[in-house]
A and B are shown apart, each in its own frame.
Chain A
Amino acid sequence: MQPTDRFTALFGRSVALAQVRRAAFVDGMRSFTPALIATAPWALVTGVATVRMLLHLGRALAMTSFVFAGSAQLAALPLITAGAPVWVILLTATIVNLRFVIFSAGLQPYFRHLSLGRRLLLGYLISDFGYLLALRRWGSAVQRKPASTEQIWFFFGMSFANWVTWQTMSIIGILMADRIPPSWGMEFIGVLALITLVVPSLTDAPSIVGVLVAAAVAVFARGLPLKLSVLAAVLAGVAAAIGTEVARERRGRSS
């Protein structure tokens, strides 16, 4: 088999299309590298927690492989250990995952023209960082029209890099749980990585107001059950950002 045939088999019907897709896919993987510094420690910590709670290697590996959702997984673990009813576990995970419903709403205009199978695959792979980096690159120029082939494969490349890193680090965490001391300061490296990912997004007043409001709400609403504080924070932050936009437009019109 010629190398070009192999590309075509992997990436598309014609050589030209395969090259476009492959270039975008690789570009996506490369662009995602900084976010991996944040993903890796978080996945490791999740893997360690999973096997410590389940006390069963096979079950921990099964959970990590299928349930691709760090915070929902961490919320479900104590319930599984306690033998809570299945519906309680699933309801909890659903509520913890609600912030992804907001992300899917944000990405829907880009992906709405794809087949159901592709929409499900791209949806399953959505991550906070993937969404952040995709919109930073695309800006709001394509807001009205569906994403191009390059954009879709760029997103897929980012998601793929994220998925591979998440799974690898989770599995390492599960297998090495005994050898990883709990107080490695790993979490703080993850927090710093998150900060450096957010800072470049703070380019105008609405985004700065949104982020400050979201952060404050997350702290003040910390008493809410089921990580609802994160959902409340996102809703409040987005509302504050939109409010700031509207206020700026009004001021712009009157002056």
Chain B
Amino acid sequence: MSDLTFALVIAGLTVVTLVTRSSFLILGDRFSLPERIRHGLRYAPACALAALILPQLVLADQALNVSLLNPRLDAAVIAIIAMRATGNMLAAMCAGMAAFVLLRAVL
């Protein structure tokens, strides 16, 4: 790819990033979503993160692995429980990482 084409691609990608992220914001006052949907959109970021998380737990070795013998899945469950119990992010991450290292050695 020539320097000119690459510069064009970078410029295009920058515009794409700006336009997708700002899409509804560009419309400003000229548009408003129905109340129900607007209210429901506050669930969107947690859903997006969940959609990024689960595949990394159960599809890490290409094939679907939903079992107690999957150390990533077990470690994630332990991190969730630790987060619920302590409310402390660092503690939950340490618990999850410790479980992961331990289970990967054992299983």
Residues of A within 8 A of B (CB): 34, 37, 59, 62-63, 66-69, 72-73, 76, 80, 83, 86, 89-90, 93-94, 97-109, 111-114, 116, 119-120, 122-126, 128-129, 131-132, 135, 140, 143, 185, 187-189, 191-202, 206-207, 210-219, 222, 229-230, 233-234, 237-239, 241-242, 245
Contact = CB atoms under 8 A, between A and B. Distances in A.
A230 B58 CA distance: 15
B92 to A, nearest CB: 5
A97 B51 contact: no
A132 to B, nearest CB: 4
B48 A67 contact: no
7 contacts: A90-B13, A104-B25, A128-B45, A189-B93, A193-B93, A241-B43, A242-B39
A62 B12 CA distance: 13
B13 A135 contact: no
A33 to B, nearest CB: 9
Contacts of A229: 51, 55
A199 B10 contact: no
Contacts of A80: 1, 6, 9
B57 to A, nearest CB: 7
Contacts of A122: 22, 25
Q: What's the interface size class on B, roughly?
A: 35 or more
Interface of B: 1, 5-6, 8-14, 16-18, 20-29, 31-33, 36-59, 64, 72, 75-76, 79-80, 83-84, 87, 89, 92-93, 96-97, 100
Contact of A112 (B28, B49, B84): B28
A123 B21 contact: yes
Contact of A196 (B5, B23, B79): B79
